[in-house]
Amino acid sequence: MALSFGELERMLVNEQKKCADHLVIGGLEKFINNWTGAQKQSGDANRADAIALALKGYGNATPDEREAMLTRALAALRGETESANQIEEPDDEFDADDEDEIAPTRKAAPKSEAKPARTTPVAAYGLDASITRLQTIGPAHAKKLQKLGVYTVNDLLYLFPRRYDDFSQLKTVSQLMYGEEVTVLLTVCEVFTRETRRAGLTITSVVLADTTGTIQATFFNQPFLQKQLPTGRRIVVSGRVDKDLQHLVFKQPEWEPLSKELLHTARIVPVYPLTEGITNRWLRRLVHSVVEFWASKVPDPMPEKIRADAQLPDLNTALREIHFPSTPEKMEHARRRLILDEFLAIQIGVLQQRRKWREQPGRALRVDDARIRDFLAQLPFKLTDAQDRVLNEILRDIQVTAPMSRLLQGDVGSGKTVVAASAMLIAVANGAQAALMAPTEILAEQHFKTLSSVFANLPNPPRLAQLIGSMKNRDKEAAREQIKTGAVDIAIGTHALIQESVEFNDLALAVIDEQHRFGVEQRGIIRAKGYHPHILVMSATPIPRTLALTIYGDLDLSVIDQMPPGRQEIKTKWLQPLERERAYAFIRNQVKEGRQAFVICPLIEESETIDAKAAVEEYENLRKQVYPELRVGLIHGKLRPSEKDDTMNKFRDHEIDILVATSVVEVGIDVPNATVMLIEGADRFGLAQLHQFRGRVGRGAHQSFCLLLAEKKESVADDRLRVIESTQNGFLLAEEDLKLRGPGEFFGTRQSGLPDLKIAKLSDTKILEEARGIAQDLFERDPDLQNSEHHLLAQRVREFWKAKGDLS
């Protein structure tokens, strides 16, 4: 039985809280289309159609666009007269009026209602002019555009379409087929508007014809069309061919008079990101006016020789073609040019930072080979060939005065910490200090215990101190004093290490673990704690080489690509939603054998508060309903550090059998007795994160298991789950994740310290590599970009990075 309108309203209100499209299997749009078909039998088809129309394209929309769609759908459902579904009558003089203000040398067309005159034309302010200086943009529209990140004329030029509708293929009525996106040249035969039983909802039907047949187009809440579409008017109609009973129809298509320059029909039509109160039709006309006048006035920073060698269009052409493509090929050329612009600015920026750091005087450390041999000999294991290779790379770096700046990559369990410990030992042997900074207190404490253990058997072990936020004030003060006086050789802590109150006596080496959890600012601050100390950044997140060279372009790269012998493979199984009880039973059997388990709650959205609430609900369900006889614990990001540590210590000491957790366990928790990792909603996570979760088990002598419990029977994440089920290789998974999901799974641009990208994606690896080659060639010839032909490029790089400050 179909949902009632009241039930549907409650459902849409619930969806509006997150706009995540997770309420129903298959997505909201598919559900609404099926629901609309059922409603047509109940006699209220008009209201159902209006709701379905408001939610058209919901699955592919951004969260902001979804929110706007839901507002319109709820207004249609409630029959509100001042609804978001109500479409304002377009201003027929829009194009002329806009271009007068945007291209102020032309005289405005007469208007029925005068707008306040501006004493200074927008052209006088240039590309940085506020959008409020465009006569078509009042305060209300400016506020809405600001939600899209548009504040200036330049911002409008760089508000790129999120996709395109190809309406370039013309057809006749007799050639139309259900479901096609088409364009037809038609003549208006008849227009009539009727009120529906729902207050505030009107339907305008337009009968259209060409020489081969007739078709009807339906519009909601646009009664003004009776005036705009007189009988005999020739128009161009573009849209999806729908079906009403057995007749083909258009529902809410795009249309334009045949006599005008076509923006919305009969071409490749841009579809922009939207927010509440902004329509694509309105925004398309505004962007077109701005592009027509301003695109040619944007300085082109790319030197002509580079552009010619790379066979790229000039910037004016690229901006015109990315917004209003004349052909798919030209649009793709424009996209490549604009992506290359962004990548080139990134690559030049990191190369400049690399040179800046290397030119600073540092401290050469003498490497005592005997001390390294003695240290490695007393370990209960032998280094792998990969660890040996990487350690030698690091030791070579720290023996010269140029400060080391190196990224050490290695999969979970590959042995990065012992390599870092060897380097720290050399710093101490030179009478200096080392620091190890971790992103969480749990991980910092774990490093403290690990280093204490590996150094314990040395004849003269380094003196260690821990500094984390949850320590008592007197203990923190004592640790800071020891670090300042040199009574401590190696300081281990969290961001507490880089607070102003912390002074090092002689910091020669800083090791930063899980770098992507720190911003570039923290990296720069710890560098300032010593005299240009050597920096070693460690990451357990496998990053494809191309991505690493971009995010860490100013660092040298070392990779431990070999696992220690004897490490067991973690058996990974992808389970369907109906197999939940099977997963629960498996965990119960493992606990009976004396093992422990993690249960990871599904990622709801990037909100610790909402994730914490979901974790609490899962914890209560498991504790009361599923495992009342077992000891179930809970850890999430909203707990106080002391509460997290207390829970983790209990889990480590086997006082808890099953730990329910959010993604706080992604990094650094080491419990050898834990043999099961159950990941709820596994289809919501990316491969890199799933692999990190999996790495929390398999650390002891017993066989370990990772159970991936999908939330939907059929999911777009199926490919990811198949891949992780089939391989343990973190770098292979990283490459696959980059293909399947893009780089956000490793780092958003904000996390990485990169400037926000308008059009480039780090998954555009071919263009990224091309940009790196161009940047390196440029840098060899003119590192400061001082040649006259490089001045605009130098300015572009400065502007691109100015919001981020020091790249270090």
pLDDT of residue 83: 35
DSSP 728: -
- pLDDT digit string (tens) for 458-500? 888 999 999 988 788 999 999 999 999 999 999 999 888 888 8
Structure tokens at 64: 């902001």
394: CB partners within 8 A, 6+ apart: 404, 406, 408, 419, 422, 423, 536, 558
H and E: helices and strands count for the chain: 28, 22
| Two structure tokens written together for 429 | 């042997």
Give the residue-averaged pLDDT of 387-391: 94
User: At 510, phi and psi to the nearest 5?
Assistant: -115, 125
The whole-angstrom separation of Cα 600 and Cα 694 is 10
- Between 258-262, 272-276, 349-353, the lowest mean confidence (pLDDT) is in 258-262
Q: In whole angstroms, what is the distance from residue 719 CA to residue 737 CA?
A: 10
Please classify residue 483 by burial: count the beta carbons closer than 10 Å to its beta carbon, then call 0-12 exposed, 13-18 middle and 19+ buried: buried
- Put residue 486 in one of left, alpha, beta given phi > 0 → left and psi -120 to 50 → alpha: left
- Rounded average pLDDT over 41-56: 74
- Dist. CA 805–CA 522, nearest whole Å: 12
Alpha carbon 408 to chain centroid distance?
Answer: 24
Q: What is the rounded CA–CA span in Å between residue 571 and residue 556?
A: 34
CB 718 within 8 A of CB 705: no
pLDDT at 586: 96
Contact 367, 426 (CB under 8 A): yes
Q: What is the pLDDT of residue 265?
A: 64
pLDDT greater than 70 at residue 640: yes
Q: What is the mean pLDDT of residues 746-758?
A: 51
Q: Which two tokens stand for residue 382?
A: 């032998």
Q: In whole angstroms, what is the distance from residue 469 CA to residue 442 CA?
A: 11
Residue 92 clears pLDDT 60, i.e. is over it: no
> Is the model's pLDDT at 210 over the cut of 70?
yes
Q: 571-727: same fold as 369-400+414-539? A: yes
Report the SS3 class of residue 646. helix
Q: Is the CB of residue 440 less than 8 Å from the CB of residue 667?
A: yes
- Residue 609 confidence (pLDDT): 54
Q: Which of 1-5, 468-472, 591-595, 803-807 has the lowest mean pLDDT?
A: 803-807
Handedness of CA 250, 256, 257, 259 (dihedral sign): negative
Type of residue numbered 225:
L
**Backbone phi, psi, residue 430, to 5°:** -90, 10
Between residues 623 and 267, the one the model is more confident about: 623
Q: Quote the CA–CA distance of 419 and 44 in Å, as a whole number.
A: 70
- For residue 744, give both structure tokens: 């956000």
Give the CATH fold of the 369-400+414-539 domain.
Rossmann fold (3.40.50)
278-300 average pLDDT score: 84
* SS3 state of residue 65: helix
User: Where does the pLDDT of residue 430 fall: very low under 50, low under 70, confident under 90, or very high at 90 and above?
Assistant: very high
Check residue 507 and give its pLDDT. 93
Please, what's the b/e burial string for 320-345 (b: 16 or more CB within 10 A of its CB; e: otherwise)?
Answer: bbbbbbeeeebbebbbbbbbbbbbbb
pLDDT on residue 549 = 67
Segment 777-784 shows an average pLDDT of 86
Amino acid letter, 467: L
Asked whether the predicted pLDDT for residue 353 surpasses 70, the reply is: yes
Q: What is the pLDDT of residue 719?
A: 73
pLDDT band at 710 (very low <50, low <70, confident <90, very high): confident
Residue 645 near residue 442 (C-beta atoms within 8 A): yes
| Residue 315 φ/ψ, nearest 5 degrees | -65, -40
Assign 3-class secondary structure to 206-244.
Answer: EEEEECCEEEEEEEECCCCHHHHCCCCCEEEEEEEEEEE
**pLDDT-above-90 percentage for the chain:** 21
Q: What pLDDT digit, counting tens, does each position of 144-183 carry?
A: 888 888 888 888 888 888 877 776 777 888 888 898 888 8
Tokens matching residue 99: 């271009």
| Range of lowest pLDDT (63-72, 80-89, 126-135, 796-805) | 80-89
- What gap in Å lies between CA 389 and CA 679, rounded to an integer? 35
pLDDT at residue 617, rounded to an integer: 84
Top-ranked range on mean pLDDT: pick from 119-133, 528-542, 694-708: 694-708
Q: Contact, 313 vs 805, CB < 8 A?
A: no
- Torsion on CA atoms 777, 780, 783, 789, rounded to nearest 10: -50
DSSP SS3 for 625: helix
Alpha carbons within 13 A on the beta-carbon side of 676: 24
CB 422 within 8 A of CB 391: yes
Q: Which helix (H) or strand (E) holds 765?
A: helix 765-781
Q: What pLDDT band is residue 730 in, cutting at 50, 70 and 90?
A: confident
Does pLDDT of 746 surpass 60? Answer: no
For the cut 90, the answer to whether the pLDDT of residue 366 exceeds it is yes
Token readout for 278 is 């902004």
Q: For residue 465, give the 3-state DSSP assignment.
A: strand
Whether 393 has a pLDDT exceeding 90, the answer reads yes
Amino acid in position 333? H
CATH second-level architecture of 164-271?
Beta Barrel (2.40)
At residue 117, the pLDDT reads 36
Express each pLDDT in 567-577 by its tens digit. 778 999 988 88
Taking the model in full, what pTM does it have? 0.60
CATH fold of the domain at 571-727: Rossmann fold (3.40.50)
661 phi and psi, to 5 degrees? -150, 155
Amino acid at 206: V
Q: Does residue 138 sit in helix, strand or coil?
A: coil
Q: So what's the pLDDT on residue 452?
A: 92
Residue 22 tokens read as: 């997770």
Locate the domains of the chain by residue range.
5-78, 87-111+118-158+275-297, 164-271, 369-400+414-539, 571-727
Tokens coding 27? 């997505």
**Stretch 791-808: mean pLDDT, rounded?**
71
Query: How far from the centroid of its chain's Cα atoms is residue 644's Cα?
Result: 28
Structure tokens at 131: 């959008």
Q: Is 251 a residue whose pLDDT tops 80?
A: yes
3-state secondary structure of 47: helix
Whether the CB-CB separation of 102 and 131 falls below 8 Å is answered with no
Contact 739, 719 (CB under 8 A): no
**Which of these, 453, 174, 161, lies nearest to 321 by C-alpha position?**
161
> pLDDT of 596-620, one tens digit each?
999 998 755 444 555 556 778 888 9
- In Å, how far from its chain's centre is CA 4? 37
Integer Cα distance of 218 and 88 in angstroms: 16
Q: Cα–Cα distance between 246 and 710 in angstroms, integer?
A: 40
- The arrangement of strands across the sheet holding 632-635 comes to 571-575, 705-709, 674-680, 596-600, 658-661, 632-635
Mean pLDDT of 586-597: 96
Residue with the bigger pLDDT between 784 and 274: it is 784
Give the C-alpha distances (Å, rounded to integers) separating 39 from 477, 634, 667.
70, 45, 50
Q: What is the residue-averaged pLDDT of the chain?
A: 79
81, pLDDT greater than 60:
no
Between CA 393 and CA 403 the distance in angstroms is 14
Please determine, for residue 394, whether its predicted confidence score (pLDDT) is greater than 50: yes
For residue 622, what pLDDT band results from cuts at 50, 70 and 90? very high
Residue written as tokens 């408001």? 54
Q: Tell whether the model's pLDDT for residue 91 goes beyond 70.
A: no
305 phi/psi in degrees, rounded to 5: -65, -45
Give CA separation, 99 vs 112, 120, 668, 699, in Å: 17, 16, 58, 67
- pLDDT on residue 207: 93
